[in-house]
Amino acid sequence: MSWTDERVELLKKMWGEGQSASQIAKELGGVTRNAVIGKVHRLGLSNRNSGTSKPAAEPKEKPAAAPKPAAAAPKPKPQPKTEPARPVTPEPASADARPATPARRQIIPAGQPLPPQPSANEISPEALAKVNEVEKKAKKLGLMELTERTCKWPVGDPATEDFWFCGLPVQQGKPYCEAHVGVAFQPMSARRDRKR
DNA sequence: CCCTGATTCGC
DNA sequence: GCGAATCAGG
């Protein structure tokens, strides 16, 4: 595959939209992300610097480094960092209004029976919200579909048809995705309750 | 381990 | 010019 006009334009477009090199490569097909990045650089549009701690030049070994050609290209439209914007959907699982009592909420709110909870039962509401949210977009994988890098957080009752594993990309090392890692690994501030 | 972009250098 | 290999960071 060669860099035809069209392909280059798609590259420019996608890069401008903030797509990653690998995504662009996938879209284009026939090229690797390396190729894309290389092309991006050659095109001189690698501008996506926004504070990456790397202002100074790398003191590698570059004898007689030619100064960058100060070709001033007319840039009336400085591509502002287009933030993809997360369409966060705050889904109030339960509209339990309690204005008079801002007290702590019950344990786990909505229906889903929480899986293997270490022992603690006080997980940050934020983490829980995240879990509830993430379960909506879970891959809902079956046991056989799990791999080394799919979240193995179980949801539902194993005795039911309504049972599946999260399946989202795990967080480096951990067996769970980010959201589930949040509720899985608690500081173990568990309080031995249930005084016989 | 997964991902990201950046750079180098033989082709 | 091209892009795999490599590097550097998250």
Nearest residue (Cα to C1') for B1? A172
As a rounded value in angstroms, the CA-to-C1' distance for A162 and B5 is: 42
Stretch A137-161: mean pLDDT: 84
* Residue A59 placed within a domain: no
In chain A, which residues from 115 to 174 place their CB closer than 7 Å to nucleic acid strand C?
172
Q: Could you tell me the pTM of the whole model?
A: 0.42
* Residue A110 placed within a domain: no
At A9-26, the pLDDT tens digits run 999 998 988 888 988 998
Chain B bases near protein Cβ (<7 Å) = 1-8
Mean pLDDT over all residues of chain A? Answer: 67
* Residue A183 placed within a domain: yes
At A51-70, the pLDDT tens digits run 333 343 334 333 433 343 43
A97: left (phi over 0), alpha (psi -120 to 50) or beta: beta
> Does the CB of A6 sit below 7 A from strand C?
no
User: Which two tokens mark A26?
Assistant: 């996938």
* CA contacts within 13 A on the Cβ side of A122: 9
Residue A29 belongs to domain spanning: 5-43
* Residue A21 placed within a domain: yes
As a rounded value in angstroms, the CA-to-C1' distance for A170 and B11 is: 39
> Does the CB of A53 sit below 7 A from strand C?
yes
Q: Compute CA A116 distance to the chain's CA centroid, rounded to the nearest angstrom.
A: 24
What pLDDT is attached to residue A117? 52
Report yes or no: A148 and A130 within 8 Å, Cβ to Cβ.
Answer: no
At A180-195, the pLDDT tens digits run 887 887 665 555 554 4
* Residue A92 placed within a domain: no
State residue A154 phi and psi, 5-degree precision: -80, 145
* Residue A136 placed within a domain: yes
Which residues, 6+ apart, have CB-to-CB distance to A60 below 8 Å? Answer: none
Chain C bases near protein Cβ (<7 Å) = 1-6, 9-10
Stretch A38-57: mean pLDDT: 64
Which residue bears the tokens 């608690």? Answer: A186
* Residue A170 placed within a domain: yes
Nearest residue (Cα to C1') for C6? A34
> What's the total number of domains in chain A?
2
* Residue A58 placed within a domain: no
**Residue A41: which nucleotide is closest by CA–C1'?**
B6
